[in-house]
Amino acid sequence: MPSVPERVRLVEVGPRDGLQNEAFSVPTDIKIAFIDALSQAGFPAIECTSFVSPRAVPQLADAEEVMRRIARRPGTRYLALVPNERGLERALAAGCDALALFAAATDAFSQANIGVSIDESLQRYATVAVRAKAAGCWLRGYVSVAVHCPYTGPVEPQRAVEVARRLAELGCDELAVADTIGKAVPDEVARLLEALLRWLPAERVAVHLHDTTGRALDNVAVALAYGVRTIDAAVAGLGGCPFAPGAPGNLATERLLDFLEARGYDHGIDRRALERARTLLWEAIPGLARTDSPTAQLGSQ
């Protein structure tokens, strides 16, 4: 009998990580329609929004309304970021049951991103995690700048691993290591995963790759070789973190699907439905920055 293709789980981050850095306000109705269209495409997880201060990220000031109004598809996990207890309270009130915590592998990036050191951020998350778990929430932990930091340069794998370990100890069910500025090369990703997988099983690990230098798919190949089967991507390479200079865009979902299909992996995404989601966004917002190119610049991340 023919073998069953191995499944790779895609986490679509376009609605949050993709849209957060756009210079103009994306209407709430468009965000909701976009997320609903992605649900119809069959993504097992969608990163929808963030409950940060509206002053810090005005684009996501409508987080409550977005999370209340999206049509939740059975089998899809709808993620929202929470930076602190106030963000957690807002998220729980909006009906969220899957949350993400963000930490960084360097203090410089942590200070630029959330205004506190690594240790301070993890102390803050300790209470958040306890309350989130008590409310029945699934938790994802992100380790930003796990390979390169825009402020301090290359990051030793053990520094990122230590942050991931501490997030796991707080109760995070999944740990996503991020090449936030897209400078990682395959050997560096291999060293990071080798160190991380010594104590954390591959099924609890995800990779979040940016495509600044066009090496994201090379790094996906490394992750797959190490047994990692959860990969973040954004429709058409949307993306941008205002706190990471030099990282313009995420790995494009479409390119990732092509890559996986060419290598015989199953991803479960309806390509026609995905195209409808992308078209909906482009028609609603003609000036939206986007690209399918691995090197085109998308913004300020």
Please, what is the Cα angle at 47 between 177 and 4, to 5 degrees? 75
Q: List the structure tokens of 221.
A: 């190949």
Q: List the structure tokens of 75.
A: 């089998």
Listed residue (231, 246, 109) closest to 181, CA to CA: 246
- Examine the residue annotation and report whether 241 is marked as an active-site residue of this protein: yes
Three-state SS string over the chain comes to CCCCCCECEEEECHHHHHCCCCCCCCCHHHHHHHHHHHHHHCCCEEEEEECCCCCCCHHHCCHHHHHHHCCCCCCCEEEEECCCHHHHHHHHHCCCCEEEEEEECCHHHHHHHHCCCHHHHHHHHHHHHHHHHHCCCEEEEEEECCCEECCCEECCHHHHHHHHHHHHHCCCCEEEEEECCCCCCHHHHHHHHHHHCCCCCHHHEEEEEECCCCCHHHHHHHHHHCCCCEEEEEHHHCCCCCCCCCCCCECEHHHHHHHHHHCCCECCCCHHHHHHHHHHHHHHCCCCCCCCCCCCCCCCC
**CA dihedral (172, 92, 50, 38) positive or negative:** positive
Show which residues are catalytic: 241
